[in-house]
Amino acid sequence: MGLQGCASKKIKDPTILKSMDSICLTGQGKGRIEYSGGRHVFSYESLWQPKEDKWSLALGLPLIGQELLVFQLPKKDKRSRVSGTFAKRLKNEVKSKRMRFLLGAFYKNLADLLKIIKDRKTPLEGSAWQIYLEKGDFFAKSNVGKNYVFKLRAFEWDEKYERLTMSLSEKIKMKDSLKLLNLELFVSRCDLK
């Protein structure tokens, strides 16, 4: 279930709020995305526009050039949207129905998390979000159905988080999980407000 139109609970813990403010959503650096059957490395510039409910990434892909990945956050009666040339590239490269479903779940959960960061609220109804700090690292997790989990980890903190890992993993008994889709951003310049 998404964040659209449900009651919410304000996040009050000052250390979590400070950590949320230290996640660099406008800046630049290097990154990589890995998924079943593919991998891309890139340089990137990102722009967080909370008033427009939008997060945009311009990705510089070797031998390909610049492509865009744009997240439009969910609004009251609308779902989140993902657009851009890189979103189309991934959709075309992912062949199986299962991986297309997982790519959509990854996008949706990332947009939902951006909405939580913007509004400083977690949804109450139908929510499986857990937001916490562990040894200085910021974590946000959400179950995706019974078999998968979306997780963001922000770490290497020095006034801001210098590394973000966003993953969609399969839950496996006896092990932590198997990553099916993984996006990592290594921040070299951050424009925190």
Q: Judge contact between 37 and 94, C-beta under 8 A.
A: yes
pLDDT in tens, 30-49: 999 998 778 999 999 999 99
Lowest mean pLDDT segment, chosen from 2-6, 83-87, 99-103: 2-6
**How far is residue 130's CA from residue 115's CA, in Å, rounded to a whole number?**
14
Q: Average pLDDT, stretch 67-90?
A: 88
| Average predicted confidence (pLDDT) for the chain | 85
Q: Count Cβ neighbours within 10 Å for each residue of 45-78 and write b for 16 or more, e otherwise.
A: ebbbebeebbbbbbbbbeeeeebebbbbbbeeee
Tens of pLDDT, residue by residue over 7-32, are: 456 777 888 888 888 899 999 999 99
Q: Which residues contact 136 (CB under 8 A, 6 or more apart)?
A: 155, 157
Does residue 121 or residue 67 have the better pLDDT? 67
**pLDDT band per the 50, 70, 90 thresholds, residue 59:** very high
Maximum average pLDDT range among 8-17, 40-49, 109-118, 171-180 = 40-49
CA 47 to chain centroid, in Å, comes to 14
Nearest to 110 by CA among 137, 89, 126, 129: 129
Residues 6+ apart with CB under 8 A from 125: 1, 6, 7
Domains of the chain as residue ranges with CATH: 8-190 (2.40.128)
Whether 30 and 103 have beta carbons less than 8 Å apart is answered as no
- Give the per-residue pLDDT at 96: 86
